[in-house]
Amino acid sequence: MLKNILKIATRKSPLALWQATYVKNCLKKIYPKLNIKLIPVVTQGDILLNHLVFKIGGKGIFVKELEQLIIKHKADLAVHSIKDLPANLPEGLGLVTICKRENPYDVIVSYSYRSIEDLPKGAVIGTSSMRRGSQIISYRPDLLIHPIRGNIGTRINRLHIGTYDAIIIAAAGLNRLGIQYKTNQIISANILLPAVGQGAIGIECRLDDNNLINLLEALHDEDTAVCIKAERAMNKHLKGGCALPIASFGVLEGDNIWLRGLIGNPDGSIIIKNEIRGPRYKYKEIGILLAEKLLSSGGKKILNTLHKNN
């Protein structure tokens, strides 16, 4: 037996608990005698709902408390939505397991309109993601982007009371929670390129816990991991975070990977896109090369301005 009790740190949101329970159930199926306990935690990102994420610390506000539990040996691992993970992890911790990716795209949810094209001029879209906002405004400059925070249920409730004409949510989150709506249009990556790691669940633990890493290998999906690692390599090279409208999406084509990337102005006035194909085993080099292509084609100027302003 690896441990008397395997402790999994997780946020308390319904989606986070679903993901942690999913990992727990997968492990129990493979290792029936393993005793597993969830440790739900309220993170800073769950408390400061009236603030924009990039103004209160970026993506790290959703994972810092979980990581501290692992570092202090009060938990063995943490389960994350990979899109919530910062580019750099604390020393001694690593993203050791990447589960098979769910639907990686965004969806637009509305009670009154069938699609993003169906929205009338001046319609209000709820999203606090600069990545989503900049791309939507670039595609439909006549729409209005208003910030929205909270878990999926909170955001849907605000849509229900009429605060927004539509909201944008990751398809994977809706699918995992079993939420279905008449108007759930999946938005093409040609219009809205997904976030780095979107749709994939990742497991973080101490890098010196070799027994646990070996045990978790059974949940790892290498095809997904190749794409996610390429996306994260691009993002890390760009020093990306919540304050930056950056997107990346990798797809395998046999033994090759097709990686698309984007840097945009928050107001959607400038969107820099590029893409690259190459051998899947060179995923890291491909991610860095794509980052350099984005920087040299105008992205560097955008990022310098955004870093200065933020």
> Tell me, what's the pLDDT at 200?
98
Q: What is the pTM of this model?
A: 0.91
> Tell me, what's the pLDDT at 288?
98
> Tell me, what's the pLDDT at 150?
87
Q: What is the pLDDT of residues 11-56, one digit of tens each?
A: 999 999 999 999 999 999 999 999 999 999 987 655 544 544 444 4
Residues 1, 91, single domain; the answer is yes
Q: What is the pLDDT of residues 239-293, one digit of tens each?
A: 887 668 999 999 999 999 999 999 999 999 999 999 999 999 999 999 999 999 9
> Tell me, what's the pLDDT at 183?
60
Q: What is the extent of the structural domain holding 58?
A: 1-101+199-220
> Tell me, what's the pLDDT at 61?
73
Q: What is the pLDDT of residues 219-237, one digit of tens each?
A: 999 999 999 999 999 999 9
Per-residue b or e along 31-68, where b marks 16 or more CB atoms closer than 10 Å to that residue's CB: eeebebebeebebebbeeeebebbeebbbbbbbbbbbe
Which run of H or of E encompasses 149? none
> Tell me, what's the pLDDT at 251?
98
Residues 162, 285, single domain; the answer is no
Identify whether 203 is part of a domain. Answer: yes
Residues 142, 152, single domain; the answer is yes
Residues 73, 63, single domain; the answer is yes
Residues 25, 89, single domain; the answer is yes
Q: Can you give the CATH number for the domain in which 153 is found? A: 3.40.190.10
> Tell me, what's the pLDDT at 60?
60
Are the C-beta atoms of residues 66 and 9 closer than 8 Å to each other?
yes
Identify whether 59 is part of a domain. Answer: yes
Identify whether 192 is part of a domain. Answer: no
Amino acid, single-letter form, for residue 205 = C
Residues 129, 268, single domain; the answer is no
Residues 148, 128, single domain; the answer is yes
Identify whether 193 is part of a domain. Answer: no
Which is catalytic among the residues 46, 76, 84, 209?
A: 84
Provide the domain count of the chain.
Answer: 3
Residues 61, 146, single domain; the answer is no
Residues 5, 86, single domain; the answer is yes
- Based on the residue annotation, tell me whether 165 is a catalytic residue of this protein: no
Residue finishing a domain among 128, 162, 186:
186
Residue with the larger pLDDT of the pair 80 and 49: 80
> Tell me, what's the pLDDT at 47?
52
Which range is least confidently modeled, 96-105, 150-159, 223-232?
A: 150-159
Identify whether 50 is part of a domain. Answer: yes
As a residue count, the chain comes to: 310
Cα Rg for the chain, rounded, in angstroms?
19
Average pLDDT, the chain: 91
Residues 116, 173, single domain; the answer is yes
Residues 134, 97, single domain; the answer is no
